[in-house]
Amino acid sequence: MVVALIVSVSACGFRLRGTQQLPESINQVYIASQFAHMPMQRALEQRLSVYQLQNVTQTQAQQDPRTVTIYLQPEELERRLLSVFATGQVAEYELIFSIPYTVQFADQEAIASRIEVLREYQDDPDEVLAKSRELDLVLTEMRNEAADRMIRLLSSQYQSQITFN
């Protein structure tokens, strides 16, 4: 019974979310940004190895036409007020981290996209130093999540390029 269920589910093409494999033609990525050593660029470079992708230099990218190029735009962080204390001080924010980017596959048109990551952040005016460090950790986590999403989206963006061309 269990074997029949597993066979029928896998036969229809079902995959767990996040397990979509990148095409074999995508194995080298060049990351370009307006600002050198931008935090999002560093996060993306660190996450590439998890997906067995090689981070290449601009020179290497120009030599190999199969290299995928990701152009990062400046990241944005917006705070939306969620609640206040009785004293009128802010108690809770919604942090909205967004990163616009463009993906360029070999001999294809560039695809512009944007990723947003949301988090709720509780502020405590009595613990300013601790909350400052916590905010840095939350931002790092949000950048890592955005980098993971960006890499996972490469597969569907690649498929859409093939379909439309």
Q: Closest Cα partner for 93 from 108, 78, 81?
A: 81
DSSP 107: T
Is the pLDDT assigned to residue 7 strictly greater than 60?
no
pLDDT at 118: 97
pLDDT at 37: 81
Is the pLDDT assigned to residue 96 strictly greater than 80?
yes
Rounded CA gap, 165 and 158, in Å?
11
* Structure-model confidence comparison of residues 73 and 123, the more confident one: 73
CA atoms within 13 Å, Cβ hemisphere of 118: 5
Tell me the CA distances in angstroms from 114 to 98, 100, 153, one per residue in order: 7, 4, 11
- Assess contact for 58 and 30: CB atoms under 8 A: yes
Query: What's the burial of 59, exposed, middle or buried (CB within 10 Å: 0-12/13-18/19+)?
Result: exposed
Alpha helices in the chain (DSSP H): 2-11, 39-48, 58-63, 128-164
Architecture of domain 2-164: 2-Layer Sandwich (3.30)
* Structure-model confidence comparison of residues 130 and 7, the more confident one: 130
CA atoms within 13 Å, Cβ hemisphere of 88: 0
Query: What's the whole-number average pLDDT of the chain?
Result: 83
Is 69 in a helix, a strand, or coil? strand
Least confidently predicted of 68-77, 110-119, 152-161: 152-161
Domain boundaries, given as residue ranges, for the chain: 2-164
Is 88 in a helix, a strand, or coil? coil
pTM: 0.78
Condensed to tens digits (0 to 9), the pLDDT of residues 8-28 reads 655 555 555 544 566 666 789
pLDDT at 103: 94
pLDDT at 10: 58
- Confidence tier at 138 by pLDDT (50, 70, 90): very high
- Assess contact for 113 and 71: CB atoms under 8 A: no
